[in-house]
């Protein structure tokens, strides 16, 4: 029997469209891809380009045709190549992610780990066990010099694979102690230079929101016009990390900037709309930060997430109770917020180096 064919097109704003003759099988497979949705205007299924790896496995038995415009899909390895996971396992894994409401990013990372594990094995995946998993984790540390956090994520991915898809548990309970790395933080002057760098009002507004409200890039992208409450001076963050809603502060200066922005751009549903519908992609927002950082002359290694780190650090330096900072950031565990006590310089300013106290050079 000839294999079925699905065609991929560039849908714009970091999304791809999948076209194929209607069938229950096609709809079932598309629904297994996290964040996929039917676009009634374009009459096609669309999904984030970052989900390309999952798409390739879900449609492993199909012939996948990529248009020349779908460059992001081809770059992420979604051409019709032999999969490293059996098609039935890949489909079951994707459906399990969707059933458990895992984020697309987590699902994509788990798929990548499962792929690597399947290539590592010298036995079929269904016949593998705890010893194979342990050897795989050891190889990650030995050959790839993986960090503790990467190995911890691999353990979680393998446990999910065995328990949710293969139907059995593996005794992977011991985890390496996590690396203790300090977040990259901008000084107040550096942060203001970055957020003031864009001449484009829309770009400046989203960077100001990241710093003044401590938002993640995914939270900025998903903001709706109705989430901003100028009267109460708060912003509603819907389904942040861990699928939790929370409120964060709307600075007075940010409110004035957003009023100017909305009067000019007149967004309808999403606060920051994409050029071809939907909201602005996280990749586009990251690119805006990269250009602003370069224009501001910042040479240290930081990302747009560093604006969130800087928000928390500067609040702590101003004497804000760490419990309030935890609430604003949406941290479930106070220990996560306490990392900022190691980068805040409030108490450091009171310390004088013994070298400065010595009168002789």
Domains of the chain: which residue ranges? 5-88, 188-342
| Residue 203 falls in the annotated catalytic set | no
Predicted pLDDT of residue 360: 61
| Residue 314 falls in the annotated catalytic set | no
| Residue 202 falls in the annotated catalytic set | no
Predicted pLDDT of residue 51: 76
In the DSSP assignment, the letter for residue 224 is B
In the DSSP assignment, the letter for residue 227 is G
Predicted pLDDT of residue 349: 62
| Residue 243 falls in the annotated catalytic set | no
Candidate list 98, 202, 295, 305, residue with the active-site label = 305
Task: Quickly name the fold that domain 5-88 has.
Answer: MutS, DNA mismatch repair protein, domain I (3.40.1170)
- What is the block-wise mean pLDDT of the chain (361 residues), using blocks of 10 residues? 73 80 86 82 80 80 68 40 68 86 81 86 88 89 78 91 89 73 86 95 96 93 94 88 83 95 94 87 91 94 92 89 89 80 68 69 56
Q: Which CATH code is given to the segment(s) 188-342?
A: 1.10.443.10
Q: How many residues does the chain have?
A: 361
- Give burial (CB, 10 Å; 0-12/13-18/19+) of 327: middle
Predicted pLDDT of residue 46: 87
| Residue 216 falls in the annotated catalytic set | yes
The alpha-helical segments, DSSP class H, found in 182-304 are 188-196, 201-213, 217-221, 252-265, 282-295
Predicted pLDDT of residue 18: 87
Nearest CA to 240 out of 110, 149, 307, 331 is that of: 331
Nearest CA to 225 out of 191, 264, 273, 260 is that of: 273
Give 55's strand partners. none
**Is the separation of the CB atoms in 65 and 5 below 8 Å?**
yes
Candidate list 98, 135, 193, 241, residue with the active-site label = 241
**Is the separation of the CB atoms in 258 and 205 below 8 Å?**
yes
Structure tokens at 98: 């969707």
Structure tokens at 246: 């929370």
Candidate list 216, 246, 279, 309, residue with the active-site label = 216
Q: Which residue has the tokens 């064919």?
A: 5
d(CA 294, CA 276): 27
In degrees and rounded to multiples of 5, residue 131 shows phi and psi of -65, -40
Candidate list 15, 57, 308, 314, residue with the active-site label = 308
| Residue 308 falls in the annotated catalytic set | yes
């Amino acid at each position: 029997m000839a294999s079925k064919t699905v065609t991929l097109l560039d849908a714009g704003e970091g999304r791809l469209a999948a076209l194929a003759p209607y069938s229950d099988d096609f709809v079932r497979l598309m629904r297994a891809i996290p964040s996929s949705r039917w676009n009634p205007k374009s009459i096609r299924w669309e999904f984030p380009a970052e989900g390309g790896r999952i798409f390739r496995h879900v449609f492993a038995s199909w012939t996948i045709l990529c248009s020349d415009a779908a460059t992001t899909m081809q770059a992420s390895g979604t051409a019709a190549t032999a999969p490293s996971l059996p098609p039935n396992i890949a489909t079951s894994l994707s459906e399990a992610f969707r059933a458990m409401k895992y984020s697309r990013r987590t699902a994509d990372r788990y798929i990548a780990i499962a792929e690597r594990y399947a290539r590592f094995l010298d036995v079929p995946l269904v016949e593998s066990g705890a010893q194979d998993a342990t050897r795989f984790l050891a190889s990650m540390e030995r050959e790839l010099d993986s960090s503790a956090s990467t190995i911890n994520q691999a353990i979680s991915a393998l446990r999910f694979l065995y328990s949710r898809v293969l139907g059995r548990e593996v005794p992977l309970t011991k985890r390496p102690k996590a690396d203790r790395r300090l977040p990259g933080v901008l000084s107040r002057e550096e942060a203001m230079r970055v957020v003031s760098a864009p001449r484009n009002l829309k770009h400046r507004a989203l960077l100001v929101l990241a710093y003044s409200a401590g938002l993640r890039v995914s939270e900025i992208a998903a903001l709706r016009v109705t989430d901003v409450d100028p009267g109460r001076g708060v912003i509603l963050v819907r389904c942040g990390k861990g699928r939790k809603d929370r409120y964060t502060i709307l600075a007075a200066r940010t409110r004035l900037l957003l009023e100017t922005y909305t009067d000019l751009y007149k967004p309808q549903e999403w606060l920051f709309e994409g050029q071809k519908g939907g909201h602005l992609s996280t990749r586009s927002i990251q690119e805006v930060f990269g250009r602003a950082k370069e224009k501001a002359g910042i040479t240290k290694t930081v990302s747009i997430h560093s604006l969130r780190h800087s928000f928390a650090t500067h609040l702590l330096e101003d004497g804000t109770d760490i419990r309030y900072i935890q609430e604003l950031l949406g941290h479930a565990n106070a220990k996560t917020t306490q990392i900022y006590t190691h980068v805040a310089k409030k108490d450091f300013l009171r310390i004088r180096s013994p070298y400065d106290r010595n009168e002789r050079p």
